[in-house]
Structure 1
Amino acid sequence: MKRAFDIAASALALALYAPAMLVIAVAIKVSDGGPVFFHQARVGRNGSLFSMIKFRSMVPDAETALAALADGNDGNGVLFKLRDDPRVTRVGRVLRKYSLDELPQLLNVLVGEMSLVGPRPPLIDEVNKYEVHVLRRLYIKPGLTGMWQISGRSDLTWEESVRLDLYYVENWSLTGDLLILWRTVKVLLRPVGAY
């Protein structure tokens, strides 16, 4: 039932958002001539790897510049975040504020690598730092949105993020997914903790 909903909703969303996605793609390309999309290896259900796709919101060489910024981590322990990341482009700041950089992940949902709702898709390095109980996050597919996104996003502590994700893993329902999707729309209109 969850998979059927993911297929129908992601296909509909891709059709509806196609014009906006085209405008975003052109804006990224015109801004610096770099690639439109950013692909990154993420860990999915049961530890399987997949290539997550996003609109590129950083300079093209952002990954190589990461090591020099490690000391300024504003993240919550396992996660790396910078409030004023110098690698983020001008267009990227707008995309990130309203989570528009995440729209291409609808393709990941459509092909079955992600779900519309679930824990955030972790990096390989993050999973390598997990305590044993945190590995339960991988029991289900990662989501485009989830409890973390409607509850503070990057402003949450690592412990709060884990607690919300594990609660979702153990208590998910289609009704709950619909409520999270509805609350996600409200959060996107008034973004908090997005950087």
Structure 2
Amino acid sequence: MTATATPVRRTPRTRPGPPRLPRNARRLLLTAHVVTSVGWLGVAYALLVMALSAQASADPGTRVATYALMLSFDNAAMLPLGLAALVTGVILGVGSHWGVLRHWWVAVKLVLNIAVLVVPMLTRHPALVDAVDTARAGLLTEPAQQVLDGSIASVVVLTVATVLSVYKPWGKTGAPI
């Protein structure tokens, strides 16, 4: 008499933490993250070009118009794109194998993202308001240099974040999420 083997039911492995995103949701979020991140970097480059143009111009009207346009871009594009990149990045980290703090490159990108959101709003944005006022008065003063410095810093930091996304250096941090 032969015994028939009872099939062994295997339970799927579960990883600790939140569930991973389904493939299509992850792709959609990744697309949104890349689009908002690239847009954010593009606006940062545009602000840098405008800051250089304003500082190089001897015409007060050109400086006023350029700084006013920069202020509009700062309000309408830099902050919303940065927030969208932050939110989509965090959701992707939580819902994928990369994690939010599990890999060094992701953790560093998170810190850089927050820094590029907060620091320009505390430094470049007020300097832009001052630059518009001083340009209206026909003066070339310190706010113009602060605007340029903030624009350079934003471009450099966002470019570093992009490089980190491509090369993914440094390995794991040991954090569970």
Fold agreement, TM-score > 0.5: no
Structure in which a larger fraction of residues adopt helix: 2
Structure in which a larger fraction of residues adopt strand: 1
Q: TM-score, normalised by structure 2?
A: 0.29
Q: TM-score, normalised by structure 1?
A: 0.27
Q: Larger relative CO (CA 8 A, sep 6+): 1 or 2? A: 2
